[in-house]
Amino acid sequence: MAPPPSQRDRTVSDIMAHPVVTADPSETVAAASGRMQERGVGSVVVVDGDRPTGILTERDLVRFGASGADSTIAKVSEWMTADPDHLGPDEDPAKALARLLEKGYRHFPVEDEGKLVGIVSARDLMRISQIRPITPAGLDAPKGLEGVVVGETEIGDVRGMEGFYHYRQYNAVELAEKRTLEDVWHLVYRGYLPTRTEREAFKDEIRPLRVIPPEVKALLPSVAILGRHGSLLNGFRSAYSLLAGALGFQPWLDVPIDTLRAEGMLTCAVIPSLLTAIYRLRTGDDPVDPDPELDYAANYLYMLSGKRPPPEHARAIEQYLISTVDHGFNSSSFTARVIASTGADLGSAVVGAIGALSGPLHGGAPSRALDMLDAIGVPEKADEWIRNAVTHGQRLMGFGHRIYKTDDPRSVMLRGVAERLGGPMLDFAKHVEERCVAILAELKPGRNLYTNVEYYAGVVMDRVGVPREMFTPTFVSSRSIGWTAHIIEQAADNRLIRPNARYAGPPPPEPVPAAG
């Protein structure tokens, strides 16, 4: 049985009208034109039995009217077009339309083995053919846009085969070893590393921006309570959106670029305060205001726990934060740029980026990596657990990367940080890492699956007292610097990001059925 028209290319038989309004050659023109009027058609097909022998159209009737002949006497056979051109039912409507236009006809009878089976008009054919694609959809990009360059950036770059990434020329791992988060923020925003004086001025600029505006702070308990059954990021996303609205962020197309920069600074400064406030409210504690004496990383841990952290913990989390500030056109930064490219406000672009980062394939992995360690439990169970997971199609969280096909430099750096911090989980985590990499190489050969940033991120954050549900939010905190830098860069040289899709469904237009 032939598939229904919606599942294959349409033919003339799908769009022709039938049964056809016909006339006998011996009928009078008056009788035939009366029937045309009555049935609301522009032509009648003249038949001998079921064989078409001619066609009488509105154009023939105009010719007839001009002749002054008597329509009650004149016969159809005298005024019809004999042996009209016709179509077969299986013909392509686009080709049929081309023929019809070329010959100047308005109707084609449709014949099947000499018998009249229908009629199509130019209007019917155009309805179908005009909206058939006449130009290709565009260049095909690989699924997931893998390997496609979609824009330029001066913020940084990721070199997957070399296991190297940088922020504005500086090796990011080296920055994490030698600099503070504020220095790197300055570098990403202002384009260069600050001098001592510039650093202090930058910190002075940030300090007041960390304070949550009172009108937003007053609403946070409701936001935290309403969202307490979902992930913390949902509540935070709503809180940040509220703040952007309360502060009147405007579509950047309507404001000077300096306003956009100021909104970016404020966003990066206030996000740690908002995140930790939502966390504390969810766990029944009051938010802790930022401590003006503490720098970004120490203040982050302070606002989370209410206690000033040991310097080695603050430094460890700072190194993690620096290493995750930016990473090329990753999914969330690209999302931010897509939204920014529409001229929307910075708040909308950041909210979209938070959503993209929350996914387990992007920033949602570190807590799941620790969940995996919990599920394995003891080193002796590692091989069996990992094999079972991979053979059942599960993804090992904290392993694999779209760009890195060798060691992720962030993972190497964070393993070092974890070793420096020590702790009961370290040896077990290293054992599981080693077994995961070996088993992935065996069961997924050629895929080059190594540890990514998320694996040791979880280990480090756990060691410095960041609760598991704050792992991804902590990533949001540092990556907001990258996102906003990308938004500002996009705005400075914008073109709407609007690719094409290849439509892969059944052919349109499917006639809309009358409502039942």
Q: Is 405 among the residues that bind ligand COA (CB under 6 A)?
A: no
Please name every residue paired with 157 in a beta bridge, in sequence order, or none if there are none. 166
Angle at 143 between CA 352 and CA 492, to 5 degrees: 45
Using CB under 6 A, pick the residue from 390, 418, 457, 461 that binds ligand COA: 390
Amino acid identity, position 338 = V
Tell the smallest beta-carbon distance from residue 293 to ligand COA (Å). 34
Tell the smallest beta-carbon distance from residue 156 to ligand COA (Å). 16
* Tokens (6 digits) for 352: 């979209």
**Counting runs of H as helices and runs of E as strands, what totals does the chain give?**
23, 9
Q: For ligand COA, which stretch binds (CB under 6 A), given 111-119, 162-170, 444-452, 489-497?
A: 444-452
Q: For ligand COA, which stretch binds (CB under 6 A), given 34-42, 78-86, 216-224, 394-402?
A: 394-402
Q: What share of the chain is helix, strand, coil (3-state, %, to 5)?
A: 55, 10, 35
Q: For ligand COA, which stretch binds (CB under 6 A), given 53-61, 288-296, 400-408, 490-498?
A: 400-408
- Please give the residues from 344 up to 373 whose contact with ligand COA meets the rule CB under 6 A: 361, 365
198 near 186, Cβ under 8 Å? yes
Tell the smallest beta-carbon distance from residue 503 to ligand COA (Å). 24
Q: Is 435 among the residues that bind ligand COA (CB under 6 A)?
A: no
Q: Is 447 among the residues that bind ligand COA (CB under 6 A)?
A: yes
Which residues are catalytically annotated?
Answer: 401, 454
- Give residues with Cβ within 8 angstroms of 375, minimum separation 6: 385
Nearer to ligand COA (CB atom), residue 100 or residue 460: 460
Measured CA distances, 425 to 29, 235, 374, 446 (Å): 98, 30, 10, 30
Tell the smallest beta-carbon distance from residue 498 to ligand COA (Å). 23
Angle at 105 between CA 101 and CA 109, to 5 degrees: 115
Q: Is 313 among the residues that bind ligand COA (CB under 6 A)?
A: no
Q: Is 387 among the residues that bind ligand COA (CB under 6 A)?
A: no
Using CB under 6 A, pick the residue from 54, 93, 290, 398 that binds ligand COA: 398
- Give residues with Cβ within 8 angstroms of 461, minimum separation 6: 317, 320, 366, 470, 471, 474
- Please give the residues from 268 up to 307 whose contact with ligand COA meets the rule CB under 6 A: none
Measured CA distances, 152 to 50, 146, 161, 352 (Å): 68, 16, 20, 21
Gap between the Cα atoms of 118 and 93, Å rounded? 14
Using CB under 6 A, pick the residue from 35, 127, 308, 402 that binds ligand COA: 402
Using CB under 6 A, pick the residue from 106, 405, 444, 468 that binds ligand COA: 444
Using CB under 6 A, pick the residue from 110, 271, 316, 396 that binds ligand COA: 396
Q: Is 400 among the residues that bind ligand COA (CB under 6 A)?
A: yes
Q: Is 454 among the residues that bind ligand COA (CB under 6 A)?
A: yes
Considering only CA atoms, which of 107, 139, 141, 132 is closest in space to residue 122?
107
**Contact residues for ligand COA, defined by CB under 6 A:** 144, 361, 365, 390, 395-402, 440, 444, 447, 449, 452-454
